[in-house]
Amino acid sequence: MVYTASALLRQALDAPHEMTVDVFVLRDNTATLVEDGIVDMSCTATLGTQGGRSATLTVDRGLIDETGLFDPFQDDVVIRTGVRGVGDIPLFVGKVDGLDDDESGKVDINLISRADELKRARFETPYPSTRGLLVTEQMRNIIQSINPDWTVTSTVINDPPVPVAVWEEDPGQALDDLAVGVNALWSPDRAGGFSILTNPYTLTSEPDPVAVLRDGQDGVLVQVRHLRSREAVNNSVTVVVERTDGLAPIRVTVRDTDPNSATYWGGPFGKQNEVIKTQTTLNRADATTLAKRRLSQSLALARSWSITMPPGVGQVLDPGDLVAVWYRDEVTAQVVESVRYAKDAQSTVVIDTRQFRTITPLPEE
């Protein structure tokens, strides 16, 4: 979800401003601001990947030698940007994963997100679901079984009871399995917690955009690359739910059946199909919803964009946000797939987006 910045901070970001980048090292409940020696910073957030966020720093070797900071065995790092005298915006919280230095005198510091940290904490014994919990409650329990201090926020509306399941060792896979069943996505947030949100490609109506991005005079866009390709587009999706009770698998197929669509199944586009096999406990209606969501996401690949803009509104965007893009006299609803945040006022924000596609709701049975 888009980061909620104050109106004053949003105005300051959109105007010429002195941008700040603050890096804190956390050790033993003490935060140390690194005031000198930061040479470069990179931070990226991506939709639908288990890691969710990644960041790197480049620092002078003397900073490491003199302070002993950025120790992979004990330090966490917080990265924030903002406008001096107005406010700041969190970008990343995670652990130091490794340091790489060479003869240049610079050290590259790789940071891992809370989600990467979670994935490495494998279950020591098989982890069973808890009868009576809602799916998002079970997801919260899994996350907080790794670290009870991690916060979890959920905006998922369709939240049924958790199915009977046992996960062998991978907490990331357990969260993926549960999220699929409620058409949700989970990811680390900017502040070191986790978010569970409804997959935007499962929506049956278009939500209000969190921002309008417009090119041309007084617009925010610097450069737009609009891609159109059939390579990754599937106009049919089959979901196969493998049963554990010995019964025949549930098999559901959905297709692009709109005769006015450029990807109409059997039309000039032709036929391209994806088959998804899952052991998650889904009934036929849930499997159909999953297939519709995957079809919607796949068809959205027919049009994708890479948008470069100044470090204003881009700093508060997150993967999964819906934006309206006004480009070449066409207004398009687009889902933010990834964000590469700006490191200073002279750099840019780059977002990759896909066309928003709704799914047709299932008829009432």
- List the beta bridge partners of residue 325: 213, 332
Tokens representing 143 are: 């996350």
Q: Determine the average pLDDT of the residues in 75-92.
A: 92
Q: Are residues 215 and 310 in the same domain?
A: yes
Flag whether pLDDT at 307 surpasses 70: yes
Task: Domain count for the chain, please give it.
Answer: 3
Coil/strand/helix, residue 144: helix
Estimate the crossing angle of helix 135-146 against helix 171-181, to 10 degrees: 170
Q: Does the pLDDT at position 363 exceed 50? A: no
Q: Are residues 146 and 217 in the same domain?
A: no
Given this model, what pLDDT does residue 364 score? 38
> Is the predicted pLDDT of residue 90 greater than 90, yes or no?
yes
Question: How many Å apart are CA 242 and CA 27, to the nearest integer?
Answer: 47
Q: Are residues 108 and 142 in the same domain?
A: no
- Which two three-digit tokens encode residue 56? 């790197």
Considering the domain boundaries, does residue 221 fall inside one? yes
Looking at residue 7, its pLDDT comes to: 83
- At 152-191, the pLDDT tens digits run 999 998 888 888 889 999 999 999 989 887 889 999 999 9
Lowest mean pLDDT among 11-15, 108-112, 200-204, 360-364: 360-364
Q: Span 89-110, mean pLDDT?
A: 92
* Total residues found in the chain within this entry: 365
Q: Please compute, for residue 129, the number of CA atoms within 13 A of its CA located in the half-sphere on the CB side.
A: 21
236 and 312, same structural domain?
yes
Calpha distance 82→311 (Å, rounded): 10
248 domain residue, yes or no: yes
Q: Which two tokens stand for residue 174?
A: 């357990």
Question: Are 54 and 137 members of one domain?
Answer: no
Name the 3-class secondary structure at 244.
coil
pLDDT > 70? residue 217: no
pLDDT at site 4: 84
By mean pLDDT, which of 141-145, 175-179, 257-261, 347-351 is the weakest?
A: 257-261
Rg (CA), the chain: 22
Pair 325, 235 in one domain: yes
User: Do the beta carbons of residue 186 and residue 173 sit within 8 Å?
Assistant: no
Say what the pTM is.
Answer: 0.81
pLDDT beyond 80 at 300: no
Question: How much of the chain, in percent, has pLDDT values that exceed 90?
Answer: 45
How confident is the model at residue 41, as a pLDDT? 94
Pairing relationship of beta strands 194-198 and 152-154 according to DSSP bridges? parallel
User: What is the spatial distance between Cα 192 and Cα 176, in angstroms, rounded to a whole number?
Assistant: 19
In this predicted structure, what is the pLDDT of residue 122? Answer: 96
220: helix, strand or coil: coil
* Mean pLDDT calculated for residue range 227-233: 75
Residue type, 26: L
Residue 361's pLDDT band (boundaries 50, 70, 90)? very low
Residues 168 and 256 in one domain: no
Gap between the Cα atoms of 114 and 195, Å rounded: 11
> In the chain, what is the straight-line distance between the N-terminal and C-terminal CA atoms, in Å?
33
pLDDT confidence bin for 365, thresholds 50/70/90? very low
pLDDT in tens, 20-65: 899 999 999 899 999 888 999 999 999 877 789 999 999 999 999 9
Domain closes at, from 62, 83, 112: 112
Domain that holds residue 316: 211-355
Domain end, chosen from 139, 169, 198, is at: 198
261-286 tens-digit pLDDT: 888 888 888 998 888 877 666 778 87
End residue of a domain, out of 81, 112, 143: 112
Do 30 and 133 reside in the same domain of the chain? no
CATH classification at residue 191: 3.55.50.10
Q: Which pLDDT band holds residue 104 (cuts at 50, 70, 90)?
A: confident
- In the prediction, which pLDDT does 360 show? 52
Mean pLDDT computed over every residue of the chain: 87
Residue 204 lies in a domain: no
**Residue 214: which of 330, 306, 321, 304 has the closest Cα?**
330
pLDDT, position 202: 77
| Calpha distance 346→21 (Å, rounded) | 12
Say if residue 136 is in the same domain as residue 246: no
